Structure 1
Amino acid sequence: MESKSKNAPAKLHLRSGDTVKVISGNAKGETGVVKKILVDKLRATVEGVNMITKHVKPNAQNPQGSIEKLEGSIHISNLQVVDPKTGEPTRTGRKLNDKGKLQRFAKKSGNFI
């Protein structure tokens, strides 16, 4: 059985710029804004969440080398979009708006995201 990512990118419940809450894992309970989504790996990087330490080798620009703190990626199944009305994590759906265009909405409050 072929995976869906080889043919067309999957429709995800997240977009970059969304405010999300981590619902499981080491960073459970933390919230942040999605910076980047890796569609092929089904992972996302969230601002200030799942911080990792990266050792940078010395080079011409940085002869000393350094240790940097970066955001690690999190699987999208561990993230839920935060409802802008209530501030609670919610599932999302799609329905037509006033102009007849499909738009995401929060299933808890029914408001468009």
Structure 2
Amino acid sequence: MLHTQYRCHPYISQVSNSLFYNNVLRNGITVEDRDPVMDELPALCFYNVSDGLEINDRDGSFYNDKEAQFIMFLIEVLVDRDVDPDRIGVISLYKSQMYKITNLLGSN
């Protein structure tokens, strides 16, 4: 099992640490080691898309078209503000949602 992570911003690693590592995962980097993508944005954002509908895929995974479209909107805003696309990350806990977002990214 992983004991120390060096890739993620510490705020992001808190999510996986809580969900999958029983809070024993340590950060090998500090918040100061990771420059913000934009000064006015936190390293980790959660948004409530109130009119979305969660669909259960036949694989047992879930997706939400409205959330996927909202993510595309956010990515477009960041790119329009000259954020390097290589610095943008989207975390999805559902494989079907990842496929939806990937397909939308591919069509744009």
TM over 0.5: no
* Bigger radius of gyration: 1
TM-score, normalisation: structure 2: 0.23
Please state which structure has a larger fraction of its residues in helix: 2
Normalized per residue, the structure richer in strand is 1
